[in-house]
Structure 1
């Protein structure tokens, strides 16, 4: 016992150090983005960058928020509204369809069930960039190019497969015996599902909802391909700070990136407590 304890302590210390290094490497780019957002532009291009904001300023945020749109281009408030509309729409539609599909796959046995599950997994393996020209042509044929509806359809199609696959595991993890017990107590099958099973699936819905939200909010490639001008979302909007005739205002770019990241952080902080509470509640009820 005494011989193994020091070894366990060393292993635990090494693992903690490795975790701290991984955490630092993950957080540092975010910290550097925020640091540069509060640093004047002339200090950003200095040969001796500072780890802390030098001559702390809000000017970069004001520039990013109030930057006048070029001719035919969008500005931050309108880009924020467009991104929020697409993201919320994708989140609602994805959770609705993915939830119904995952329940059908996990609870019912039908012909083609295995093939459907495998196809969902295969679709996730195909990179989005490999289908760019096909998607562009299809959206153009539907006359949905440069519209929020067309972009939302593309995002929903990209997010749903993974959401179905993830929710399927949550649904399969809830014993069907709980519904049978509720039905013995007098509930119908529908009542048993909504009163017993559905509350236990709340953590899964929150987890997959976070994934769908982040994927839609942070997507860049398809938004740049399908949208232009005043309908741009926030990610391709950052390109407006680049110019062939003027130097890039990196302070405003970092401030804009920080403003774009804030809604994701706020959304995660809001749903984190609900996700943890749902997990505890599901453990007690199970």
Structure 2
């Protein structure tokens, strides 16, 4: 009894230590964003941001094209999440329920695509978008991010779909439900945890990308927020106060999306359950 209690205490202590180590960089970023410029660069660190200042945030949002960058990032990211989730959901159902020629080849291809480093595809995708006259167009970013997200979405949701008993679909059909109603009222609620998990991955992938947003765009007004963050570093130096404040603002939408998705994830785990 004492041994198990001591083991639990050690595990809890290790978990708390890991949480503190993981959260400290986030804490340091947020507190530094509220510090005056002279406190940020001082050799004596201050763990509490006193006196507080919002000047760093004001300087960050006054950068040129900030509003356009926010709109571009939100438009591209939310579109990628919606398209990738819808396409991945339907493709996963097809791969999980239908037997057709080339099914295994598709699955192997999806798995192989995940092994290709994203930077290795910069030049091929750039030349492809150039041949399609889509450079300097947010559509090219949306297509690029969707191409990266859909394979993993399909692979994950296929595993969820295979875990749903076929008898549930058959019971719904016996009650008069059509294919669309089976998908909406049976499969969609039961696959909700997987859909939410993959939507978070899609959001993070599209929201955080810098390389493709910088390569595909030529006009400053078409850049996204990761490129905006890079503008704080110039040949004359780095504006650390503005960069840290901008990074804090940049992280807020991702945190908000994750918190909203987390509440939906908990609700989705019990959705679609049947009464015995």
Q: TM-score, normalised by structure 2?
A: 0.94
CA distance in 2, matches of 1:16, 1:277: 27
Deviation at 1:184, TM superposition (A): 2.1
CA distance in 1, matches of 2:5, 2:179: 52
Query: Cα gap change, 1:209/1:280 in structure 2, threshold over 3 Å: closer, same or farther?
Result: same
Aligned to 2:223: 232
Q: 1:101-131: CA deviations, max 9, x gaps?
A: 1000011111111111111011011101112
Aligned to 1:144: 134
CA distance in 2, matches of 1:213, 1:285: 35
CA distance in 1, matches of 2:51, 2:181: 62
Superposition RMSD in Å: 1.6
Aligned length: 275
Q: 1:136-187: CA deviations, max 9, x gaps?
A: 1111221111210111111110111111111111111111101111222233
**Aligned 8 A contact 1:182 1:192 in 2:** yes
Residue correspondence of structure 1 range 88-167 to structure 2 within 5 A: 88-167=78-157
Deviation at 1:282, TM superposition (A): 4.1
Runs of 4+ displaced beyond 6 Å: none
CA distance in 2, matches of 1:53, 1:241: 22
Aligned to 1:277: 267
Q: 1:1-43: CA deviations, max 9, x gaps?
A: xxxx222222222222222222222211111111110011111
Unaligned runs of 5+ in 1: 70-74
Aligned to 1:262: 252
CA distance in 1, matches of 2:73, 2:127: 23
2:164 to 151, 155, 174: 174
Unaligned runs of 5+ in 2: none
Deviation at 1:284, TM superposition (A): 5.7
Q: TM-score, normalised by structure 1?
A: 0.91
**Aligned 8 A contact 1:43 1:54 in 2:** no
**Aligned 8 A contact 1:179 1:189 in 2:** no
Deviation at 1:232, TM superposition (A): 1.0
